Amino acid sequence: METDLRALARVQEWYGPHSSTAAEWPVDALMLAKDTTTVSVVLPARDEERTVGDIVSVIRRDLVERVGLVDEIVVVDSNSTDATAERAREAGARVVAQNEVLSHLPPLTGKGEALWKGLAASSGDIVVFVDADLRSFGAHYISGLVGPLLVNGDTHFVKATYERPYTGEDGVVRRGAGGRVTELVARPLLNMFWPELAGFAQPLGGEYAARRAALEQVPFVTEYGVEFGLLVDLLQLVGLDAMAQVDLGHRAHTHQSVAALGRMAGQIMLTAWSRLERQGRVLASEQPAHTLLQFGLEGRADLVDVAVAERPPLASLVLEEDVA
């Protein structure tokens, strides 16, 4: 109990000085602080033709052409079968095909793979990741996330927080009902094993920014465990006081099916297990199973693989190539 109280006190001590709102980071003030720092926005996108163009257009108009806060917009086309790449390119992004970045490496799949390839394909000192399925995007998403990084040199990672409503198939919007995997899987795991991170309201959210120097020092899980893994690994790399969160207000996006959320939960649990093992906090005679038996309508059963691969820190790859 004493340990739990100390962890809670640590979170409370961190929360106030390291939490802010997007409105606290006006673009004009950020331009004064930007100086020669470059900012890249990276969007991983797979079959997001309906939304990716609008997001890129807002960034291009408001933050590239109007003020110059953002230096490049990179969309990583993650093997889309629709017009995602065309819509992003028309809106003004530089589009790269996921498998063509570092093409000498065997290709892997998943969101984390797209993020890692986006990091490799971009060049900014600060990298902002934004999901491409957002229906509530505004330029304040970017300015809010880069604000603490531009103003405070001791901040290395900024995570977004927001209200996440759930829109059901009936069209009814339920406030605070989004983020089901966050509440049922990620938050309990963080509170149990990494309680210092309990103050992050949206640990699995897809909007966050960090200094390239930090991102290149940590591995990227290639599937949906990537956000969980980055939080834990960056905590170990830079420490809690170098991490912050910014309230962006409201986030609406495409919801996934319960079956898809189950697979995501399995990937996050395997990601957490690998971090516990790596940190010497668990010892096991055998690895956990990476298959998940799911039941659908009429009792139909499907055995799915929820294994997660991992890309090494990008800096280690660069060093290996330099030596070679």
Which pairs from 232-237 meet CB under 8 Å and 24+ separation? 232/194, 232/197, 232/272, 232/275, 233/275, 234/156, 234/157, 234/210, 235/194, 235/196, 235/197, 236/279
pLDDT for the residue numbered 172: 45
What would the pLDDT profile of 56-101 be if each residue is shown by its tens digit? Answer: 999 999 999 999 999 999 999 999 999 999 999 999 999 999 999 9
What would the pLDDT profile of 19-58 be if each residue is shown by its tens digit? Answer: 999 999 999 999 999 999 999 999 999 999 999 999 999 9
**Residues in contact with 324: Cβ distance below 8 Å, sequence separation at least 6, in sequence order:** none
Total residues found in the chain within this entry: 324
pLDDT for the residue numbered 323: 44
- Nearest residue to 73 (alpha-carbon basis) of 45, 99, 48, 50: 45
- Contact present, 38 and 76 (Cβ < 8 Å): no
Distance, CA of 21 to CA of 15 (rounded, Å): 13
pLDDT for the residue numbered 169: 56
Show the low-confidence residues of the chain (pLDDT under 70): 1-3, 165-178, 253-255, 318-324
Distance, CA of 198 to CA of 165 (rounded, Å): 21
